[in-house]
Structure 1
């Protein structure tokens, strides 16, 4: 049996706001892996790492972001990408993690990028699973401007309906649990900051400038992303996941885990 993660609750104060973070945590002989989930998802996106023997020696930290899953936040309206970065830093501090491998999906990929950009010396490797690095990546978050609604609940209901009808791998599955995983009051701050950062914060330059090994993972349904050849030419490893759209952890998890393991193993061998 692979070593199991422990379910923990951590009370934090992030930017003066109380947050009670629900996490999966395991210590290990090898460097820990920090997992950051995407919008509308939870730490359980990554829980199956416990079933993969290749990761047995690694420490693990995955948690529900404020406004998501079982994590509670006194003021969900305060949540945006900088708030999520500060939450990650607080979790790393309370878990006494100095250096780590970093895996982030979508919203979590953008959070991971901003975290790595601010503290590059702490990141051993970065697997970015369709996290925002260009304006074109705001196909979900830009809906906050393109499809406005009169209140948070109305926006969330309309967003779920659009996602359920999207002609993409796993979108109906993703949409089915959205109402149970995200507080509507947190959506505007998250989406607005994602769009602002994607449009104005030079994310591509930040990503390519990171000194650690980098892998960009994407579903083959999104192989038309305009920057893939560019980042590959700059030394970024590409991981195209077959039979997959934006959610490899739903559409093709065995291939996702295989590629993450290969990448981290090579990164450690090169250090």
Structure 2
């Protein structure tokens, strides 16, 4: 089905019954990248996934101003509204993880929880300009070479080879799917969303006040997401952190069983009301307690 988001048709699929989960894909993926999660969680949740604007079969606007982080957030809300969903668990990977976080900041009342996986590129202090320049180069390459020819190059990045080594067939499917992306949509998404979104560190004051239950997930070989992930763990009041060993960027496809297990435990705790804010006694300056302050 298609749902209208700010004049742009968004392709949506759903399955299952129960509490809703909205899955938001990464730049290198699309709605079908969540298939291992849709199959697993649809047994007991209402699972929704959609193709972002610029990703067929969603519409592909051809103007740069039709792509931004703000519009990505608006599109996610449009999907929830179009399906009549008041609140949902939000699960995002990479580009989708940024959207999940911004949903928590701007629409906390619509979020049962946030899973922010593989998110952080461009956030490391001192590396913002480097990331923007690389993003613009990627956009240029999509236009010059086309998605079909550039897919294997992009899919062989430093945080994708882990997937290739563990699961060559799964990686080949990932690259084949990437090769079908819209050249225009990929380039404009990279320029309008990836290269212009704010760093987590710029949002610190807002993040400290955001109490939506949150799970941060990163691969330990996804180098440029690790430090931003640690930062979110320290700043977000109700955040937990999971680091998957010997794992790169494409978490949900590279380690689907482990990803589903960790996510499932998180959702169960949130649904039971057992995932709260960090205990104020867990102060980093008091690793070993020396005074019985409760008696003072």
Q: What TM-score, normalized by structure 1, do the two folds share? A: 0.80
Give distance in 2, aligned partners of 1:162 and 1:38.
Answer: 17
Do the aligned residues in 2 keep the contact of 1:134 with 1:204 (CA within 8 Å)?
no
The alpha-carbon deviation at position 141 of structure 1 amounts to 6.4
Give distance in 2, aligned partners of 1:74 and 1:189.
Answer: 9
State the structure with more CA Rg.
2
Q: 2:277 maps to what in 1?
A: none
In structure 2, relative to structure 1, the CA distance for the partners of 1:71 and 1:237 (3 Å cut) is same
Is the counterpart of residue 10 in structure 1 residue 2 in structure 2? yes
Unaligned runs of 5+ in 2: 165-170, 275-296
1:129-163 Cα distance to aligned partner (Å, 9 max, x none): 11237523978765233567387243756753532
In structure 2, relative to structure 1, the CA distance for the partners of 1:153 and 1:72 (3 Å cut) is farther
Give distance in 1, aligned partners of 2:59 and 2:258.
Answer: 32
In structure 2, relative to structure 1, the CA distance for the partners of 1:257 and 1:119 (3 Å cut) is same
1:12-31 aligned at under 5 Å gives the runs 12=4, 14-15=5-6, 17-19=7-9, 21-26=10-15, 28-29=17-18, 31=19
Q: 2:183 maps to what in 1?
A: 184
Root-mean-square deviation (CA, aligned residues, Å) is: 3.1
Helix, strand or coil for the counterpart of 2:70?
helix
Do the aligned residues in 2 keep the contact of 1:35 with 1:104 (CA within 8 Å)?
yes
In structure 2, relative to structure 1, the CA distance for the partners of 1:114 and 1:254 (3 Å cut) is same
Do the aligned residues in 2 keep the contact of 1:25 with 1:62 (CA within 8 Å)?
yes
- Which of 252, 263, 270 is 1:260 aligned to? 263
Do the aligned residues in 1 keep the contact of 2:132 with 2:196 (CA within 8 Å)?
no
Give distance in 1, aligned partners of 2:98 and 2:249.
Answer: 14
The alpha-carbon deviation at position 108 of structure 1 amounts to 0.9
Give distance in 1, aligned partners of 2:200 and 2:215.
Answer: 23
Q: 1:67 maps to what in 2?
A: 54
The alpha-carbon deviation at position 72 of structure 1 amounts to 2.6
The alpha-carbon deviation at position 97 of structure 1 amounts to 0.5
Structure having the higher strand fraction is 1
1:142-181 aligned at under 5 Å gives the runs 142-146=133-137, 149=140, 152-154=143-145, 156=147, 159-167=150-158, 168-170=161-163, 173=172, 174-180=174-180
In structure 2, relative to structure 1, the CA distance for the partners of 1:205 and 1:109 (3 Å cut) is farther
Do the aligned residues in 2 keep the contact of 1:219 with 1:240 (CA within 8 Å)?
yes
Q: 2:242 maps to what in 1?
A: 239
Q: What TM-score, normalized by structure 2, do the two folds share? A: 0.74
